[in-house]
Amino acid sequence: MERGISTKCLHLEEDEQYTKNYGAISFPIYQTATYAHMGVEKSTGFDYSRLQNPTREHLEKIVATLENGTDALAFTTGMAAITLLMELFAPGDHLIVESDLYGGSIRLFNNVSRKKGITFSSIDCAKENVESYVNEHTKAIFIETPTNPMMNVTDIQALAKTAKERGILLIVDNTFLSPYFQNPLDLGADIVIHSGTKYLGGHNDTLAGFLVTNREDISEKFRFLLKTTGAGLSPFDSWLILRGIKTLGIRMEKAQQNALEIVEWLGGKRQSVTKVIYPGLEAHPGYEIMKKQSRGFGAMITFQLESKEFALSILEKVRMIKYAESLGGVETLITYPTTQTHADVPEEIREKNGITEATLRMSVGIEDVKDLIHELTEVFKETEEELYGRKES
């Protein structure tokens, strides 16, 4: 019988020698840089922690299992993972990328990858005909779904079919939903990316990134590049992510439940909120695709306010909800994309994607939702009275 995903967060199928031999329930931190050999050309399987470490290896096996991949590699950050990924490509190669990506990815492509002679077509993959942008130099399609921060949803299976027909890679950043809610490899993707800092870690206490694949040829290239470039995750940080993954299921369920209630509150005849963007709303254009390709809608909400002044006032006034640049942790965070996550994205591109100075992004945590809604009610009320002298119902 195949184990459920919450069980997979805790246990690998095979018996682990660390539990069998010593009874350890929490996987140990192997805080060592190098390993002694038993003799010439004899190895324990570990030689130097830049190549591999038992704690990191255990974490990688867990993440690969959760994504139904054959291999996962753990990196110091999500951007370190994407940076290594881009080493698959050579000068003259062309990539099709989602236009509404995390700002760090856009910054990397525009300021580092382009200098290496890689070219990009940045498009709305949810709406445009992706195949029409494929040319003889195209090597990959790179998407997020839902996107950051505008929650655009792309049909992974349909895009995978196009990619395979044209002999190119499909790369999916799955950070927003985590492997608990979505598994792009099962839908035909070749590579999955995670910022492990976010839902996998879940506690806003460490940084990590992952690349996951079910292709042996890609795995071999990644392993060689990781050995060569040296951005593997440290033993202690690997252990922190392992610890976080143990509660991934219950955190995702609770955060999503809270998000659904906050979405309802935001949309409740509030004059100051002009738009609520959440893929779990039936009115969202990607709602049916989400139902088909994922097991949930996640806990990320983007909403538009009636003015920049209103948005800034909310950021100034929140207390328990923290004004901070991240997502996916147990605490609820609110982010201002214009000056935080997407500050390095040119203004005209931000505006084209729908990111304005009145846009806020919320990562809903696992607090009691009544406390979150109480704070939002108070903050919105204070802002309404301060800016406009009016009271909302």
Check if the beta carbon of residue 73 is closer than 8 Å to that of residue 51.
Answer: no
Q: Which residues contact 238 (CB under 8 A, 6 or more apart)?
A: 29, 53, 55, 56, 58, 59, 74, 208
Known catalytic residue: 361?
A: no
Find the helix or strand (DSSP H, E) in which 192 lies: strand 191-195
Residue 342 to residue 102: CA distance in whole angstroms: 7
Active-site residue identified among 30, 71, 155, 198? 198
Nearest residue to 380 via CA among 272, 301, 277: 272
Active-site residue identified among 30, 56, 100, 102? 102
Residue 386 to residue 337: CA distance in whole angstroms: 24
Residue 224 to residue 218: CA distance in whole angstroms: 10
Check if the beta carbon of residue 304 is closer than 8 Å to that of residue 274.
Answer: yes
Q: Which residues contact 268 (CB under 8 A, 6 or more apart)?
A: none
Known catalytic residue: 155?
A: no
CA atoms within 13 A on the CB side of 314: 26
Check if the beta carbon of residue 162 is closer than 8 Å to that of residue 180.
Answer: no
Ramachandran class of 156: left when φ > 0, alpha when ψ lies in -120 to 50, beta otherwise: alpha
Active-site residue identified among 18, 35, 50, 291? 50
Number of neighbouring beta carbons within 10 Å of residue 313: 20
Known catalytic residue: 246?
A: no
Active-site residue identified among 93, 100, 155, 173? 173
Beta pairing class for 119-123 and 209-213: unpaired
Known catalytic residue: 173?
A: yes
Question: What radius of gyration do the chain's Cα atoms show?
Answer: 22
CA atoms within 13 A on the CB side of 352: 12
Residue 232 to residue 226: CA distance in whole angstroms: 7
Q: Catalogue the active-site residues.
A: 50, 102, 173, 198
